[in-house]
Amino acid sequence: MNNFESQPGPEKPANKKNWLRRLGILGFLFFLLKGIAWLFVFYYGVKFSGCRSESKPAAYIFSGSSIPSIDIA
């Protein structure tokens, strides 16, 4: 009869590995969903705030002689 199996002892390494693996998977999913949620927030924030304008692209505005000049007195 072996009494070592019935005695409480230190936690097995397999249990710690499973716990850390589960924590890692949950952490990954949390930050993945959080990132996707922020993408939706920014997308719909710009869409509904009216930040989009039908103005000319920056390459057209700053090409040629249309570069604004600054006069230093």
50 within 8 A of 44, measured Cβ to Cβ: no
Enter the pTM of the model: 0.47
The proportion of the chain whose per-residue pLDDT surpasses 90, expressed as a percent, equals 25
Q: What is the structure's pLDDT at 16? A: 85
For the residues 61-66, what does the mean pLDDT come to?
56
For the residues 58-65, what does the mean pLDDT come to?
56
For the residues 34-39, what does the mean pLDDT come to?
96
3-state secondary structure of 38: helix
Give pLDDT tens digits for 8-19: 666 667 788 888
